Amino acid sequence: MIGRLRGAVAEIEPEDALIDVGGVGYIVRCGVRTLSRLPALGEPVLLHIESQTREDGTRLFGFMSKDDRAAFVMLQSIQGVGPKAALAVLDILSPGELAAVVARDDKAAISRANGVGPKLAQRIVTELKGKPIAGAPGLAASVAAPASPAALAVNQTGEAVAALMGLGIGEAIARRSVEAAQARLEPDAGLNVLIKAALQEVGR
């Protein structure tokens, strides 16, 4: 089982990245938040990997931190939550934010994730409430700590990019459009305003 990859970023696609490790290219499935934090092509990167082997082969899921990987595994322990849903939740909530959301029973925050409805969001909150999270100390430590403005900005960027990608816009174009929109908007502009402004940038 592969638990970590250290190499160079060879390609970045809407849902995965190709990591060159000693001349061998590994296709790693990543969420939007992870893809947005990858360095430029050719630059070194270290990804924490969760390997899943099924009938159709082995898939690698990559994360920038151990906490992200632990949260991904933890979410899939819940009935109805597969890799796609787990990645969607982590696209809009960092592990620390997820712990805070669970602590205050905020299922609405989780239901913003693409493909996660109110019922599944409620199940996630219920299942994770008070559950020890082995291997992810950052989760427990950040339950009572509110997210910083910088963390909220990164979270909003990821949500906006994901929203544009959901409309069939490529990841690279979506990211450039969101960044351009942010440059001309007020820092406290809401998510809906950001998405609308980003859509305008796509057409330019």
Residue 72 in this model has a pLDDT that exceeds 90: yes
* H or E segment and range at residue 145: none
pLDDT score of 153: 54
Structure tokens at 120: 């599944």
Are 81 and 37 in contact by the 8 Å Cβ rule? The answer is no
Per-residue pLDDT tens over the stretch 147-167: 445 444 556 777 777 777 766
CATH 3.30.1330 fits 149-202, yes or no: no
Per-residue pLDDT tens over the stretch 27-41: 999 998 899 889 999
Q: Domain 66-141 sits in which CATH superfamily?
A: 5' to 3' exonuclease, C-terminal subdomain (1.10.150.20)
CA dihedral 169, 9, 150, 87 (to 10 degrees): 60
pTM of the model: 0.64
Structure tokens at 91: 């696209």
Structure tokens at 182: 């942010």
pLDDT band with cut points at 50, 70 and 90 for residue 9: very high
- Which residue ranges make up each domain of the chain? 4-63, 66-141, 149-202
CATH 2.60.40.10 fits 4-63, yes or no: no
163 burial (CB, 10 Å; 0-12 / 13-18 / 19+) is buried
Residue 134 in this model has a pLDDT that exceeds 50: no
